[in-house]
A and B are shown apart, each in its own frame.
Chain A
Amino acid sequence: MTFTKQIQVLLKKELLIEWRQKFALNGMLLYVISTVYVCYMSFKFRGGELTPITWNAIFWIVLLFTAMNAVAKSFMLESKNRQLYYYVIHSPQAVIVSKIIYNTILMVFLGMVCLLVYSIVLGNPVQDMGLFILNVLMGSLGFSSVLTMIAAIASKAANGGTLMAVMGFPVIIPMLLMLIKISKNAMDGLAMSQSLDEILVLGAINLVVLALTYLLFPYLWRG
């Protein structure tokens, strides 16, 4: 099988598993909605004010925690034996690339749902919606590529859950800083050229992470 064919097959498998085990997807959707609602209750209760900066920060924190939960399971849901089976019949690069693509699709979906619910209950002060959505897309790709790699590392260790958080949060911070900066610019309706530096850095970090993941993942599963 060619590389692209392998990715297609694996991606189809991921989507099928997700579709058949709807509890996982529904669980994540509920997770997003209830987290947003908790924020809504805590901030808008008795007419509390939510400044644009807080609105932005909370949005990204909700999305980060969602990504943590959604991506962490990508190597834990399937049994060790079945993973071994994939590695035997496919190249490891195809496995990781398909996981990243799948997680990106998942994160884009969850990010859009999050944005929708968030805007309905907490208002939407964003002026440049196009840039904001572009930012959510880039964030989805970034979160899923970094966290998929971290999840792959954590799944090899005994205390996977703790390690996922301990390794994931510091590593994601450079990316998160850029995302928050760009979305703040989008909220203020600044011209695209104002955010160009941040977009370039974010794209560069994304590229480096993707390239490293592609190169390093084969060493991870070899055990």
Chain B
Amino acid sequence: MAQNNTKITGLGWKLTGVLLLIYSFYQGFMGKVPTLDILNESIRNLYFHVPMWFGMTALLAVSMFFAIRYLVTNNAAFDNKSNAFASVGMLMGILGILTGSVWAKNTWGTFWTNDAKLNGAAISLLIYSAYFILRSSFEDEQNRARISAVYNIFAFAILIPLLFILPRMVSSLHPGNGGNAGFNAYDLDNNMRIVFYPAVIAWIIIGTWVSTLVYRTKTVEKFLNEEQNV
């Protein structure tokens, strides 16, 4: 494995992610967008804000997947991966709220408002904050891994209705709900789709890459700590 230290593994997908990200940033700031009332140029946020939520959901799903793998195999590596993916997923959630807030200030005139989608986002961050508090309250590594894996699976199951079912049951101010201009309004505008989908893929790839980096850094740190202690 360590024949060549400079070799980058998985160069293909990482490069794809970087190129797609550059493309979506270029198109996001320079590309043509439809001119709509109220939204105006802030419509470009679609390329940055919405992929954050796609990324967060994907990373948290991967985190839950590794939690299940941990419970089945009892291999500590899966727990560390689960933790890394959850933390990067949470970071993307925070970025999603920030990008949404800035957009809301310019469109709705307020940073925060009582809306089903916004509340769902805030509560999901609370649920995953509790995950990290739960993790930090264990000394024993095996206990921590097992019990946080159980909570992780439980939390993801609660997240699904919170993010995907409840907001659709009430009227909302958020684009894409209750007749507000949302993604469906751009059905005619394929130009936006050409940028939006690559942006989503790019952010999921970048998120996955960062998660693997976090996982590897933590693993090395743990290894070094153990070396020192011995």
Q: Taking beta carbons and an 8 Å cutoff, which residues of A are in contact with B? A: 149, 153, 156-159, 163, 166-167, 169-171, 173-174, 177-178, 197-198, 201, 204-205, 208-209, 212-213, 216, 219-220, 222-223
Task: Decide: A163 near B169, CB < 8 A? Known: A209-B157, A212-B153, A223-B143.
Answer: no
The majority secondary structure among interface residues of chain B is: helix
Which 5 residue pairs across A and B have the least CB separation, nearest first?
A: A170-B126, A167-B130, A157-B137, A170-B127, A166-B130
Q: Mark B104-137, 1 if CB is under 8 A from A, else 0.
A: 0000000000000000000100110110011001
Q: Mark B139-180, 1 if CB is under 8 A from A, else 0.
A: 100110011011101110110011001100100000000000
Cβ contacts under 8 Å, B13 to chain A:
none
Task: List the B side residues contacting A174 at CB < 8 Å.
Answer: 123, 158, 161-162, 166
Q: How large is the interface on B (under 10, 10 to 19, 20 to 34, 35 or more residues)?
A: 20 to 34
| B44-84 to A contact mask, C-beta < 8 Å, 1/0 | 00000000000000000000000000010000000000000
B-side residues, CB < 8 A to A, are 71, 123, 126-127, 129-130, 133-134, 137-139, 142-143, 146-147, 149-151, 153-155, 157-158, 161-162, 165-166, 169
A223 x B130 contact (CB < 8 A)? no
Are A219 and B149 neighbours in the complex by a CB distance under 8 Å?
yes
State whether B143 touches A198 (Cβ < 8 A). no
Q: Are B154 and A216 in contact (CB under 8 A)?
A: yes
Complex interface: chain B residues within 8 A of A198 (CB): 169
Q: Which chain B residues lie closer than 8 Å to A178 at the CB level?
A: 166
